[in-house]
Amino acid sequence: MAKAFVATLLMLLTVAAVLVYRTGAYKEVVISSGDQGPFVLIYKIHKGPYHKIVDVISEVEDFFFKKDLACPIAFGLYLHDPNLVEQDRLISHGGCVFTNLSQELLEVLKDTDLEIKNMEKKEYVVATFDGSPSMGPIRVYPKVDSWLTKYGYKRKGPVLELYQTLGDDKVLTRYLFEYE
């Protein structure tokens, strides 16, 4: 009985260690503030739980891939606080970020159902994390909220998450928080 308990405990600890390593849960969150943008967001609208936006982002990335255009940075723009809005009523935008809206890009976007949003340069609290983006709500958001509280600010508006693929399935995520 004791051997079975120890074996089970060791197996659970091993699985936990692998998950912590693979998700980057142990990695540091770096917080700063400064101007970001301007951005041109090309996206589709997603309604429902935020963790299900991955398919929407992939669909937009695939659209650009088929048109032989790179999606420089993928993004998710999360419009609601999931602590205040029911999961099935959450709205987010998922797609690709560009620095400008070129004529070539406008031509490719003709007759599509993709939306375009221009975001002007503005100041944000910026959190950088190179672990899995799925760890953001657990690792990043609480640290940013603590940072804002420490300096007497509070979050306002949507949160923009910028996902930059670094190769070997590594992703660097920049979280942009508006604040007041």
Ordered by where they begin, the domains of the chain are 27-179 (3.20.80.10)
* 113-122 residue pLDDT tens: 999 999 999 9
pTM score of the predicted model:
0.85
Query: Model confidence over 93-108: pLDDT tens digits?
Result: 999 999 988 888 899 9
| Positions of E strands within 39-120 | 39-47, 73-78, 91-98, 115-119
**What is the predicted pLDDT for the residue at 27?**
62
- Cross-strand bridge partners of residue 43: 95, 115
Average pLDDT over residues 75-87: 95
User: What residues contact 3, with CB distance under 8 A and at least 6 apart?
Assistant: none
**145-164: average pLDDT:** 95
